[in-house]
Structure 1
Amino acid sequence: MDLTPLYLTAKLALVTTAILLVIAAPIAYCFAYVRLPAKPYLEALVSMPLVLPPTVLGFYLLIIMGPNGVLGHFWERVTGERLCFTFTGIVIASLVYSFPFAVQPLKAAFEKIDRRMLESAYVLGCSRIQTFYKVILPNSLNGILVAAILTFAHTMGEFGVVLMVGGSIPGKTKVASIAIYEYVESLRYSDANMLSLALAVTSYLVLVAVNSLNRRNSHGT
């Protein structure tokens, strides 16, 4: 059995998780602490991938990232390469698809921090940015871990969005979920079973890790 789809899936999940944690943290901070008149609408926009069918999200990403789309046209002018049907393309699609799975746990973790700690930091002369790095992040490690684990697991299981934007190019965009579908279509049940088992075990371990972190949080340890 070719393990390349599994390697690509893990690579995609790791890259997506690393980038999303950096992008999602300041946005989660704004949702938790900054008063914005349009906050409900912005939070709803961020959460859209949770309720949109993956094919709908994938279709619009395909339009935006295609040669005639805003992002696709810009990317092609800058790099000379197309964005769709590349690994970079499915990374961008994964960032959009898994975005709420990074933002929501971080927002919840930030909101649990005692406001008196923040006020003390401001009294001692810390700016908002310094408080974010010196107080909020160190006291939100469990939330950061939950966000990373959920984002990684959600990206591992992607199918519709990745298929729409990346297709099924061996060694480039053919991730495990797409390979499983193609194995079943070609009646290669043994290969489909091996990849499915790998993803099932990964999903189970993710749930165990999240439950353990939540239990620690509930006991205050």
Structure 2
Amino acid sequence: MSALTEFFGESSLQAILLTLKLAFITGGLLLLIALPLAWFLANWQSKAKPFVMSVLALPLVLPPTVLGFYLLVAFSPQSTLGQGWQSLTGSSLAFSFEALVLGSIIYSLPFALQPLYSGFTQLDSRYLDVAKTLGFSVTEAFMKIVLPLSKAPIVVALGLSFAHTIGEFGVVLMIGGNIPGETQVLSIALYEQVEALQYDSAHNLAIALLVFSFVMLAALYRFNGLTRKSEDR
């Protein structure tokens, strides 16, 4: 830990640990949300489906600052959500770690949802037909058949949502600000160092993000390749 502190600096290391905490929490919650949602969408037939899918995919194309602005309005003490949160917890939702978690879930949802949706739509329906003949309930079929056959999409969804949360900037800056130890995540710490002309420290953070992103993507591609080879045998 002392070597990391010397390399990154104490404030930067604090931002790294906070970012990892945010990414782990967001990734876990997203998986719980996206799994049933993707399964529902994959089996849902409705004229409204393209519109619902478009709304869920908006963070892919919407500028992060736009989404962050509307989330800030929703989390403010003047809003219904903000007032409800303050009455329950006694603290403001905006510019808090909890706001970062909620914002990250919304912003990273498509990165978890899309791989799962694609995986579920490509699943051979004969497996579910067999499950019905064996008397499996919908929940049992999902837990015992669908999930074990969807390991690759699940890993990709978790990896992409985790990595995307690590690199967030616009949304977290709008709803969390720049409070060290509370809302100052890695991307904001990097921006602050560049503004302060601390290029050596900024370079250390930037190269760490670059290496992490490359390793994460390489691992996901490798995992997908191994999974497809095993399925083809």
When normalised by structure 1's length, the TM-score is: 0.97
Number of aligned positions between the proteins = 221
Per the alignment, residue 3 of structure 2 pairs with: none
Return the match for 2:130 from 110, 120, 128: 120
Trace 1:67-78 onto structure 2 (pairs within 5 A): 67-78=77-88
Root-mean-square deviation (Å): 1.1
Q: What SS class does the counterpart of residue 150 from structure 2 fall into? A: helix
Q: CA deviation at 1:219?
A: 2.9
Trace 1:47-86 onto structure 2 (pairs within 5 A): 47-86=57-96
Per the alignment, residue 184 of structure 1 pairs with: 194
CA distance in structure 2 between the partners assigned to 1:122 and 1:198 by the alignment: 49
1:135 lines up with 2:145 in the alignment: yes
Q: What SS class does the counterpart of residue 137 from structure 1 fall into? A: helix
CA distance in structure 2 between the partners assigned to 1:21 and 1:38 by the alignment: 24
Per the alignment, residue 209 of structure 1 pairs with: 219
CA distance in structure 2 between the partners assigned to 1:128 and 1:43 by the alignment: 23
Per the alignment, residue 38 of structure 1 pairs with: 48
Q: CA deviation at 1:6?
A: 0.6
CA distance in structure 2 between the partners assigned to 1:26 and 1:168 by the alignment: 34
CA distance in structure 2 between the partners assigned to 1:18 and 1:193 by the alignment: 30
Q: CA deviation at 1:61?
A: 0.2
Per the alignment, residue 156 of structure 1 pairs with: 166
Specify the code of the residue in structure 1 equivalent to 2:166: M
Specify the code of the residue in structure 1 equivalent to 2:114: Q
Return the match for 1:219 from 226, 229, 232: 229
| Structure 2 alignment gaps of length 5 or more | 1-8
Per the alignment, residue 168 of structure 1 pairs with: 178
Identical aligned residues as a percent: 47
Deviates more, 1:165-174 or 1:71-80: 71-80
Per the alignment, residue 6 of structure 1 pairs with: 16
Q: What SS class does the counterpart of residue 125 from structure 1 fall into? A: coil
CA distance in structure 2 between the partners assigned to 1:176 and 1:150 by the alignment: 17
Q: CA deviation at 1:220?
A: 4.3
Q: CA deviation at 1:198?
A: 1.3
CA distance in structure 2 between the partners assigned to 1:124 and 1:136 by the alignment: 15
When normalised by structure 2's length, the TM-score is: 0.92
Q: CA deviation at 1:214?
A: 2.6
Specify the code of the residue in structure 1 equivalent to 2:16: L
Q: CA deviation at 1:86?
A: 0.7
CA distance in structure 2 between the partners assigned to 1:18 and 1:31 by the alignment: 20
1:87 lines up with 2:97 in the alignment: yes
